[in-house]
C-alpha cells in the first residue's frame, strides 16, 4: 500500500491549486485523487468562465470570499500572461431593469470600494450612457465593471496540473474515494479505480460537490447536508452574437438565491450563452434528466442528516422558486422572455441548442439555511473545505494559499520539510 505525506481529494481548480502550493512550499510526497480522467471535469470546467471582481460581495457577510477574490485577480493575470492563456477584460454590466433597482447598484458601488476595488475599475451609468456602449441593452441604469475578465478555467487548471507535476505532485485520475478509515498513523483511503487503497499522513478534502460526503466518511461535519442546483444555459445563434459585446447580469430578484437570475455570457471562444435556471438535482453530476431520477432523489433525501433538507423543502418560497426554475428549464420560450427584459431584440428563435450545464453544490445547516462562505472542518489528520462556491474559481489562488498557511500553522504539515524558498508561479507573500 502506497504511503503519501498528503493526499488531496479533488482535481478541480481548488484541489489542484492547493496541491501546487503545498509542493511549492514543502518537500514530500503529494497525491491528488480525481474521480475523472482529467482535472476540472465538473464545477471548475463548467462555470461561466468569468473572473469576477468583488463588487457584488457583501463586505461583512462574504468578507473572506471578497478578500480572496481581490487578491487572486493579479495572480491570475500574471499566470495567464506567463502561460499564454486566454485573458479578455471584456467587463460586465450589472443592469437595473427598474428605477427601484438602482439602489442595489449603488450598494454595489459601496461594496466595490470597501472590497478594495479602485474607482477607475467601475462606473455607474444611466440608461443613456448604457445605450452608448451597448445599444441593444435596455435598462434604467447599470454598473459597468470594466475589469471583469473572460477566461477558460479548465485551461487554467490543466496548466496548474502541469506545474504541480513538475514539482513532483502525482495525479491519480480515474479514482474515486469510497471509504476512509483511520489506521492510527493517518487515514487509509479505499478507492475504486486504478488504485485500490492508499495511506496518507494528511488528507485535504477539496472534493467540491462531494466534499460533504467525504467529510462524513471521516465522521465529521455531521451537522451539514448539501443541495445541488443544476444551472442550464442556451447557446445563442451566431447571427445575433454581436448584439452585446460584454457580460450582462441583472439585479437579482431573490437575494438568497442570486445565481438564479438570467445572464448574457460571453465565452472565451466568442460564443454567447444565456441562462441559467437553477433546478434542484440529486447529485453533483446530474447534468441531464429530471423525471427519471426519483430513486436518486429518495436516496439523497434520506441520507443523514435529513432535517436540513426537510426544512428547506418546507420553505414555501423555495418550493415556488424551484417550480418556476423547473418550468424555465423545460421552456426556452420562458428563458427568452426573462432575458428579453434587458435585451429585447433577443428572440426565442435565437436560442438554437442547450449550452453548458454546471452544478452548484451548496451546504445546508440544521436550520435549512444555505451557507454563504466556505466552511473549514478540521479533523485529527484531515482538513475539509465545504461550500467553496462562487467566486470559487476566481479566488482559488489566494484561498489555496490560505489553506496551505492554515495547515502549516496548525501543525498538519510538521512531518514535511519546509523549502528554503517557495517555488511555483506566484509569490507566497502576495497571496495574503
Domains and CATH numbers, the chain: 2-45+154-224+372-431 (3.50.50.60), 86-150+227-363 (3.30.9.10)
Phi, psi values for residue 143, rounded to 5°: -100, 120
- Asked whether 174 and 128 are in contact (CB, 8 A), the reply is no
- In which residue ranges of the chain is pLDDT below 70? 193-195, 254-260, 290-298, 301-302, 309, 313-330
Residues paired with residue 378 on neighbouring β-strands, in sequence order: 383
- Give the closest residue to 391 by CA, choosing from 61, 64, 40, 156: 64
Give the model's pLDDT for residue 305. Answer: 84
Give the model's pLDDT for residue 106. Answer: 97
- Which residue blocks in 87-217 are alpha helix, DSSP H? 102-114, 127-133, 153-166, 211-217
Alpha carbon 381 to its chain centroid, in Å, reads: 26
Give the model's pLDDT for residue 302. Answer: 64
- Give the closest residue to 383 by CA, choosing from 371, 374, 370: 374
- Give the closest residue to 267 by CA, choosing from 275, 278, 279, 258: 275
2-9 and 30-34 beta bridge pairing: parallel
30-34 and 170-173 beta bridge pairing: parallel
Give the model's pLDDT for residue 259. Answer: 52
* pTM, to two decimals: 0.93
Amino acid at each position: 500500500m502506497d504511503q503519501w505525506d498528503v493526499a488531496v481529494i479533488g482535481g478541480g481548480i481548488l484541489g489542484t491549486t492547493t496541491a501546487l502550493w503545498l509542493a511549492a512550499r514543502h518537500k514530500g510526497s503529494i497525491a491528488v485523487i480525481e474521480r475523472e480522467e482529467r482535472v476540472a471535469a465538473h464545477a471548475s470546467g463548467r462555470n461561466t468562465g468569468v473572473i469576477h471582481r468583488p463588487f457584488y460581495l457583501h463586505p461583512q457577510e462574504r468578507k473572506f470570499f471578497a478578500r480572496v477574490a481581490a487578491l487572486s485577480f493579479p495572480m491570475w493575470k500574471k499566470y495567464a500572461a506567463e502561460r499564454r492563456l486566454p485573458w479578455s477584460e471584456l467587463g460586465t454590466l450589472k443592469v437595473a431593469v427598474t428605477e427601484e433597482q438602482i439602489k442595489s447598484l449603488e450598494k454595489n458601488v459601496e461594496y466595490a470600494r470597501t472590497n478594495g476595488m479602485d474607482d477607475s475599475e467601475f462606473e455607474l451609468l444611466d440608461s443613456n450612457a448604457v445605450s452608448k456602449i451597448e445599444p441593444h441593452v435596455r435598462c434604467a441604469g447599470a454598473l459597468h465593471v470594466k475589469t471583469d475578465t473572460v477566461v477558460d478555467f479548465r485551461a487554467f487548471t490543466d496548466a496548474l496540473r502541469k506545474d504541480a507535476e513538475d514539482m513532483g505532485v502525482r495525479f491519480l485520475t480515474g479514482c474515486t474515494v469510497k471509504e476512509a478509515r483511520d489506521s492510527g498513523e493517518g487515514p487509509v483511503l479505499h478507492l475504486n479505480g486504478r488504485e485500490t487503497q492508499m495511506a496518507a499522513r494528511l488528507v485535504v478534502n477539496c472534493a467540491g460537490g462531494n466534499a460533504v460526503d467525504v467529510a462524513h466518511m471521516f465522521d465529521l461535519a455531521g451537522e451539514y447536508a448539501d443541495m445541488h442546483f443544476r444551472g442550464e444555459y442556451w447557446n445563442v445563434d451566431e447571427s445575433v452574437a454581436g448584439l452585446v459585446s460584454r457580460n450582462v447580469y441583472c439585479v437579482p430578484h431573490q437575494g438568497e438565491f442570486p445565481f438564479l437570475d438570467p445572464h448574457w455570457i460571453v465565452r472565451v471562444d466568442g460564443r454567447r450563452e444565456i441562462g441559467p435556471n437553477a433546478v434542484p438535482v440529486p447529485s453533483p453530476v446530474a447534468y441531464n434528466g429530471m423525471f427519471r431520477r426519483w430513486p436518486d432523489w429518495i436516496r439523497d433525501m434520506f441520507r443523514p442528516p435529513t432535517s436540513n433538507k426537510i426544512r428547506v423543502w418546507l420553505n414555501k418560497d423555495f418550493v415556488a422558486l424551484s417550480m418556476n426554475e423547473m418550468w424555465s428549464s423545460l421552456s426556452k420560450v420562458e428563458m427568452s422572455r426573462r432575458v428579453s427584459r434587458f435585451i429585447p431584440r433577443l428572440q426565442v428563435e435565437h436560442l438554437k441548442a442547450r449550452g453548458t450545464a454546471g452544478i452548484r453544490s451548496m451546504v445546508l445547516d440544521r436550520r435549512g439555511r444555505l451557507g454563504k462562505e466556505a466552511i473549514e472542518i478540521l479533523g485529527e489528520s484531515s482538513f475539509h473545505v465545504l461550500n467553496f462556491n462562487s467566486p470559487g474559481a476566481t479566488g482559488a489562488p489566494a484561498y489555496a494559499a490560505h489553506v496551505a498557511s492554515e495547515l502549516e500553522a496548525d501543525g498538519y504539515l510538521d512531518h514535511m520539510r519546509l523549502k528554503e524558498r517557495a517555488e511555483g508561479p506566484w509569490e507566497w507573500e502576495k497571496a495574503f
